Chains A and B, each alone.
Chain A
Amino acid sequence: DAGVIQSPRHEVTEMGQEVTLRCKPISGHDYLFWYRQTMMRGLELLIYFNNNVPIDDSGMPEDRFSAKMPNASFSTLKIQPSEPRDSAVYFCASSPDHYGYTFGSGTRLTVV
């Protein structure tokens, strides 16, 4: 298995632009999680899905953030409009249960 695949690895965008991050989870994993990592706040859970259904989005910072999972093999995290404070590394993780997560390599987002 290729593991959790995220794209792009790096994204630099201007403030106000729309940003879309992509994730392909491991086949057969029913849970998908989006996390954001910064030096100040560490890893923060943004949202997670179970069987493609959003279960908890209480970590999504504000309405500028949205996430979808149209099928079991694909999820997106969208930021519109982006702001400099959104700069961080965004991780997607998948799991067959709540005992072990497999993380992707992350997307490093820089908003200038």
Chain B
Amino acid sequence: TQLLEQSPQFLSIQEGENLTVYCNSSSVFSSLQWYRQEPGEGPVLLVTVVTGGEVKKLKRLTFQFGDARKDSSLHITAAQPGDTGLYLCAGALYSGGGADGLTFGKGTHLIIQP
């Protein structure tokens, strides 16, 4: 059973369209991060959200952390071919005794067609 479920698994849309991808869990996270990974490279951190209900914007990308800190969404406005990649969400289950390793979802493969 995957702790973090991401949907959709695959998404192919035209340049200029808007899209939303989701990251859901039954567990509560102390923080949640979004990464983007390109072929042949490691994931690159986009944003960290730590407060329930928090919304962060990064240019055309809007990230939201659910009120209960169990889910998150990533919305892209006016998608561009450069947005193509694997989008991963990752949650930290804070044990109280220090950092825990992040648990990753399997990701959303996003293709933006020119």
Contact = CB atoms under 8 A, between A and B. Distances in A.
Chain A complexes with chain B: yes
Interface of A: 4, 31, 33, 35, 41-45, 48, 50, 55-56, 59, 91, 93, 95, 97-106
Given A98-B92, A99-B48, A91 B104 contact: no
Contact of A91 (B33, B42, B106, B107): B42
B58 interface: no
Main secondary structure of the interface of B (DSSP, over half): loop
Given A35-B104, A98-B99, A99-B50, 18 more contacts: A33-B102, A41-B106, A42-B105, A42-B106, A56-B101, A93-B42, A95-B99, A97-B99, A98-B31, A98-B94, A98-B98, A98-B102, A99-B31, A99-B48, A100-B45, A100-B48, A103-B43, A104-B42
A103 B44 contact: yes
24 contacts: A4-B42, A33-B102, A41-B106, A42-B104, A42-B107, A44-B104, A45-B101, A45-B102, A48-B101, A50-B98, A55-B98, A56-B100, A59-B101, A93-B42, A95-B99, A98-B31, A98-B92, A98-B98, A98-B102, A99-B48, A100-B48, A101-B43, A103-B44, A105-B41
